[in-house]
Chains A and B, each alone.
Chain A
Amino acid sequence: MNVIEIENLSFSYPDGHGALRDVSLAVSDGETVAFIGPNGAGKSTLLLHLNGILRSGNGAVRIFGLPVEEKHLKEIRRRVGLVFQNPDDQLFSPTVFDDVAFGPISMECPEEEVRQRVKQALEQVGMSGHEQRSPHHLSVGEKKRIAIATVLSMSPEILVIDEPTSNLDPRGRWELIELLRGLPLTRVIATHDLEMVRVLCQRSILLDEGWVVADDLTSRLLSDLPLLAAHGLAPDQGRSDHPTI
């Protein structure tokens, strides 16, 4: 079953800059898909369409068969957990507890259930016991984990996450990859981190300048070096002074 269906989606920002051009794709239940592409390829813009934060574009987006429009937003936002790239944007409450509880409280869960959900979500990301800390005093790795907990507490069915490993040191990065690997959800990950893509995602979608350039198995797509080089994801083939990776 397709949980995400996008047909001929185009989107331009108010300044006329075209961010998405005729994007069509589908993600089925339980899949882990990577959106890869150079800076400015439209990855983040596409993610913002998956829960209706942006929806003025042409074309159709359907989540669980529901068209993304005003009357379905509440349900779609509960079932699609979107984690933003910068945890300082994602974490806006004075304490970790308040932030993780924000989603469940917006869903109007009763108090006991809110506490239960917060407890579970923090356990899932390995951050139990940090409830009363201020997000400002967490390390980058801890912030990223809490940011994921803030959507897990809403028990989403799809996890949409923007650049989960940016700004992390190698250890923090591998811990986060392990964490993501352990979550039993449909996952959509926008990233430049091809190593993570290899580990986590069976399928990758390559975007550039708003177009879908390729949509294939990760193993096949990432071994096509000329394709990667043409879209800014590998060193230029014509130059011999790059060390081979």
Chain B
Amino acid sequence: MKHAFIDQYSDLDSFVHRLDPRTKTLVVLAFVLMVMATPPTAWLSFALCAVLITGLILLARLPPLYVLKRSAVIVPFVLMIAIFLPFFEGGEVAGSYNVWLWRVSVTYDGLIVLWNVIIKSWLSALSLILLSATTPFPRLLKGLERLGVPRVMVMILSFMYRYLFVLVDEVMRMGRARESRSLGGRVVWQARTLGNMIGALFLRSYERAERVYQAMLARGFDGEIRTLDDLRFGRTDLYFGLVCSFCLAGICLAALR
């Protein structure tokens, strides 16, 4: 069965795609840190950040609609956490409403906190989408490894990438097998089958892990993880890194002003 890739569009070709994954990872990290550190009322900085990230997304020839859709995925999480903030912050009241038995009021300070959470998480999400949609996942992992992320962590991520969809397939097949034999039934009974399915899935994954480990042993795995170093920094990486650093420094200055 086919599934959408984690790294959809990463096989397009643009100069952003061709950059070394380490360059992109570092720039995205710097971008996220800077966005996080910007004071909530530095409107100009946020505007410049948005321009920068939009420019890069366009340069990478990613379909804008895809990027927007992807970034919308984080919105529910942010709202769930931040939507009540305007009601609990103290300060000047922007408006108050009667909701059934309660009287609730929204403050300006609270609204700014909400804005702060939304804009920062959205900009960060956009930058991560840019990274993941322009870098094939295996290369991203290689970049992380060269940047000093422990190899065991990288290996766990690589197994996740390899087996995530194998497991999804397994769940889908189990679901179909259940559906073709179950004709409704009480909720309690259905919940029990679901529990059994989760148990079966765990056992199967456990057994698969054993077999994968045997396959690794059979090819000479001795506990040490070795990989080839085939990443090269090029001249574009240098220019891109420099330009992005200047942009980020400029945005920082705009925030301080």
Contact = CB atoms under 8 A, between A and B. Distances in A.
B161 interface: yes
A67 B226 CA distance: 28
Interface string A79-102: 001101010111111110010011
A114 B219 contact: no
A82 B222 contact: no
Interface residues of A, number: 36
A48 interface: yes
A106 interface: yes
A223 interface: no
Contacts of A114: 228
Contacts of B214: 48, 53, 84, 89
Interface in B198-220: 208, 211-212, 214-220
Nearest to B7: A134
A84 B220 contact: no
A132 to B, nearest CB: 7
Contact of B220 (A77, A90, A92): A77
B165 interface: yes
B138 A150 contact: no
B114 to A, nearest CB: 39
A101 B220 CA distance: 12
10 contacts: A53-B218, A89-B214, A89-B215, A92-B159, A93-B158, A94-B161, A98-B227, A101-B228, A135-B162, A154-B219
Given A53-B214, A77-B219, 10 more contacts: A53-B217, A78-B220, A84-B214, A86-B211, A91-B162, A94-B137, A94-B162, A105-B228, A111-B228, A136-B165
Top 5 nearest A-B pairs (CB, nearest first) are A106-B220, A94-B138, A89-B211, A103-B219, A82-B218
